[in-house]
A = this chain, B = another copy of it.
Amino acid sequence: MKRPTIADVARRAGVSKGAVSYALNGQRGVSEATRQRILAIAAEIGFSPSSAARALSGATAKAVGLALCRPARILGIEPFFMELISGVEAELSARSYALTLQVVADQDAEIAVYRRWWAERRVDGVFVCDLRTDDRRVPALEELQLPAVVIGGPGHTGSLASVWSDEAAALAETVEYLVALGHRRIARVGGLPALLHTEIRSDAFTEVCGRLGLDESVTVWSDYTGEEGARATRRLLSSPNRPTAVIYDNDVMAIAGLSVAQEMGLQVPGDLSIVAWDDSPLCQLVHPPLTALGRDIPAYGAHAARQLLRVIAGEPTGELQDETAHLTPRGSTAPPRVR
């Protein structure tokens, strides 16, 4: 099957190729009647302009890129990324933008991918995930002047646009809720410490525990996997003064923690309350269902996409604050049983 070109449409419509181009791109230069006739013919013969030709003649590539820097086993198990991607995608495809995905091994590889995408003119802009406190990707993108939106923050984004959510506030709300239930010994199983949002949560945890006088609070580090979450939980629950409540930095670790508690003969929530950070459907699959901090991740992705298209269009942008995660109490939290 031969692909139709703009010349085919022009011939059928009895106009020049330029006129077809104007009609398709909504530019002035053709009468409304002609425009409608051209659009009808294009639809009829199944014409879409070659993305290559369009990109080459100075227009945009109509594609944006997302590089993911996590190993397969973690990417797969966390619903976060797939939900984010589906939100990003919904917004992009509504504007006829394609999403190019690449999995990378580390920050250097990711920067190399950005350079290549830029040199190849393959994408008009990129999303940056998993922001670190001292992130080399930010200056690299600034240097390339490749439009970008950082998914994360606040701060540490240089001159790049960003979308972020107030994790410090969400964490404080959670701790205050647990304290209101009567908990005093609260532990937190944190994610990868090199990530900015982990640091933000840690600082907030320290701050709120200090403010409320919870001097037995403790944070242990993990890597978001179930195995590490289970190990961290075993360590916490084996200590002489074990916590009565644990906050986990993702849902997978929380589920692993629940399992460990049950295996050690502890009642949840009687002996131990559990809060999961990401509220995915997984949290409602287990028994008891997990109290969780959640927000609309597909919407977050859609907002990031809208922000990126704005940057690409040269419109003024900045840091966009998204909704703060809210706590949904379920069966895994209760007042601590007196011992």
Contacts and interface: CB of A to CB of B under 8 A. Distances in A.
Interface residues of A, number: 68
A259 B285 CA distance: 7
A82 B76 contact: yes
A332 to B, nearest CB: 12
Contact of A87 (B56, B72, B120, B286): B72
Interface in A89-112: 89-90, 93, 98-103
A144 interface: yes
Nearest to A57: B52
Nearest to A289: B259
- How many copies of this kind of chain does the complex include? 2
A80 B73 CA distance: 10
A1 interface: yes
A328 interface: no
A48 B119 contact: yes
A47 interface: yes
Contact of A46 (B53, B83, B99, B115): B115
B72 A101 contact: no
The listed residue with most B CB atoms (<10 A of its CB), out of A61, A118, A287, is A287
Contact of A102 (B73, B93, B120, B256): B93
A262 interface: yes
A225 B281 contact: yes
Contacts of A252: 281-282, 285
Nearest to A45: B119
Interface in A255-277: 255-256, 258-259, 262-263
A295 interface: no
A317 interface: no
B61 A90 contact: no
A36 interface: no
Given A49-B120, A50-B56, A90 B102 contact: no
A153 interface: no
A103 B116 contact: no
The 9 closest A-B pairs by CB, nearest first: A52-B55, A76-B79, A48-B119, A72-B86, A76-B83, A259-B287, A52-B56, A76-B82, A51-B120
6 contacts: A49-B120, A50-B55, A51-B122, A99-B101, A259-B287, A262-B287
Interface of A: 1, 3-4, 46-56, 61, 63, 72-73, 75-77, 79-83, 85-87, 89-90, 93, 98-103, 115-116, 118-122, 143-145, 225-227, 230, 252, 255-256, 258-259, 262-263, 280-282, 284-287, 297-298
Given A52-B56, A52-B61, 4 more contacts: A72-B82, A76-B83, A76-B297, A81-B82
